[in-house]
A and B are shown apart, each in its own frame.
Chain A
Amino acid sequence: DAGVIQSPRHEVTEMGQEVTLRCKPISGHDYLFWYRQTMMRGLELLIYFNNNVPIDDSGMPEDRFSAKMPNASFSTLKIQPSEPRDSAVYFCASSQIYGEQFFGPGTRLTVL
């Protein structure tokens, strides 16, 4: 079975540009999570969805960040406009049951 799929794996953009990160969760998983990993702050939860509905977005740093899940097999995390401090690795994870979250390979974002 395919795991969580994320694209792109690497993204380099210039400050002010819009960035869209994509995620395909594991089929049958009802929960989807977006995390950000930096050296300074470690792994932080940004937002999570249950059955395509956002449940908790308290970790979203500011209004420049938005996430959507139009269907059970696809989610996006958008940053508009991007800033250098947004540079990080962004992970998507999915879960079928309480506890076990399975992570994708991540998108390494660099904002110049």
Chain B
Amino acid sequence: GQQLNQSPQSMFIQEGEDVSMNCTSSSIFNTWLWYKQDPGEGPVLLIALYKAGELTSNGRLTAQFGITRKDSFLNISASIPSDVGIYFCAGQGDYKLSFGAGTTVTVRA
């Protein structure tokens, strides 16, 4: 699949801080998705974006579909301990998803 560049690779954050991560691609996607994976579990869908420029929120999560259709970002506001995990971006052209390498988030209490 296409190569997605996700950054940062990992981050340590203080509880209550805001978190930001992003994904870029050399290819255009029709859809951007953000997933969270906890240890020993499958990825859980957080947010799906279907339109360039779209800004969507889900609780403390906010994600945007870049206007060029080649990038997306995810923000987590006021982080809490249960935000720990690996966050993946995924771009979709046809029905196939191409995943980024993930951002590992660790929260300092």
Min CB gap A107→B, angstroms: 10
Assess whether A28 is interfacial by the CB under 8 Å rule. Answer: no
Inter-subunit contact B99/A91 (CB<8 Å): no
Which residue of chain A lies nearest to B6 when distances are taken between CB atoms in the complex? A42
Inter-subunit contact A99/B101 (CB<8 Å): no
Inter-subunit contact B102/A42 (CB<8 Å): yes
Chain A 10-34, CB within 8 Å of chain B: the 1/0 string? 0000000000000000000001010
Assess whether B97 is interfacial by the CB under 8 Å rule. Answer: yes
Inter-subunit contact A104/B95 (CB<8 Å): no
Residues of chain B within 8 A (CB-CB) of A102 are 45
7 additional contacts (CB under 8 A) given A4-B42, A100-B33: A31-B95, A42-B102, A43-B43, A99-B33, A99-B92, A101-B33, A105-B42
On B, residues with C-beta under 8 Å from A are 1, 31, 33, 35, 40-45, 48, 50, 88, 92, 95-97, 99-102
**Can you list 9 contacts pairing A with B, beta carbon distance less than 8 Å?**
A4-B42, A42-B99, A44-B1, A45-B97, A95-B95, A99-B31, A99-B92, A101-B33, A103-B35
